[in-house]
Structure 1
């Protein structure tokens, strides 16, 4: 593994460990953290077989780090508004009239943004005849399918819990369209990552940086 990737991976592991210092909700955080551990394992395994660009690898590490921070507060309790007020004196909740905590929305958006470039590259590694548009279409569909499966997983886990525990884990905050909004944001995040300029800047024929 190249130095840039080792640094990115080391930082995300450090964030993960720090998120477990005096956890507020250990059981619920452990459920979220199981996905973190699986994601880190997958990242290393995938990169060994299908080397990723350092930038794509770092994006995925950044997403996992953001997930670790949000998972510590079970997403819906992340005090981003208090942090923003302390740093800048500005409250996004008041400015936009938000009635719910939108940390989960940001994480789902980042999922699309951070995974789409790596998935596009992977598609063209596996099937070199694909055009850039075809490879991106596969990446986009992969993001959409993964988001759907994740929402199914959340629903299945919630069925095994009490209503209070299920709400704490899923963080719907009373929004009956929560799953739909999450999937839409992941899709929009992937669309944001469409590599209009990156195609020229990082040709797939070049060695993974």
Structure 2
């Protein structure tokens, strides 16, 4: 039986493997690295499992791997300590904004969710888009709860490092906002691509 997997998936996985190995070498905190890397590896496994029967578009694969790479880099340094000064200085921020960018990239998963529903004829475009948006928003809220739970359980510097709030009492709400903005961005991209594709077909 011929493989249904995209060559892009193989290339992206190979590149991610390099990032994974890099992150595993002397991370800032081995405990935080383990806690952070588990969801990344889990998501990668789900991507490959779904790809056994369904081939995402190249755009969807690229968007999904953006978060995997950023999250894995964050797991090495802890998100508050990732060397990201060039970006922080660019936007005039004294706070390390790497975690905000990583949360934004989580929202990009709205694209493959909506794409899957549309291509599988499980929902029309409108419903698929709203479902994908709400799915990301729900995931964002759920992750913040899990993050708080682990930080409270671990306690001390390890808990603070995992939480990565950097003293911002509104950190969880801002993270969820970034997740939502990422989802909206990816869904706008999907709509534009769908319209362009439909226009080409009509011609």
Structure 2: stretches of 5+ with no match in the other structure: none
TM-score by length of 2: 0.87
Q: 2:9·2:61 contact (CA, 8 Å) conserved in 1?
A: yes
Structure 1: stretches of 5+ with no match in the other structure: 85-91
1:170 paired to 2:170: no
Q: 2:8·2:61 contact (CA, 8 Å) conserved in 1?
A: no
Distance between the aligned counterparts of 2:112 and 2:33, measured in 1?
27
Distance between the aligned counterparts of 1:149 and 1:182, measured in 2?
12
- Deviation larger for 184-193 or 1-10: 1-10
Q: Deviations over 1:35-80 (max 9, x none)?
A: 1111111111111133211221122122201111122111100111
The runs of at least 4 aligned residues of structure 1 exceeding 6 Å deviation read: none
1:38 paired to 2:42: yes
Q: Deviations over 1:117-137 (max 9, x none)?
A: 1010122244x2633222111
Task: Tell me the CA shift for residue 141 of structure 1.
Answer: 0.5
1:120 paired to 2:114: yes
| Counterpart for residue 138 of structure 1 | 131
| Counterpart for residue 111 of structure 1 | 106
1:158 paired to 2:162: no
Q: Please give the root-mean-square deviation of Cα atoms over the aligned residues, in Å.
A: 1.9
Q: 1:51 to 1:167 in 2, by over 3 A?
A: same
Distance between the aligned counterparts of 2:123 and 2:159, measured in 1?
42
- Partner of 2:55: helix, strand, or coil? coil
User: Matched residue pairs, number?
Assistant: 193
1:67 paired to 2:71: yes
Q: Which has the higher helix share?
A: 2
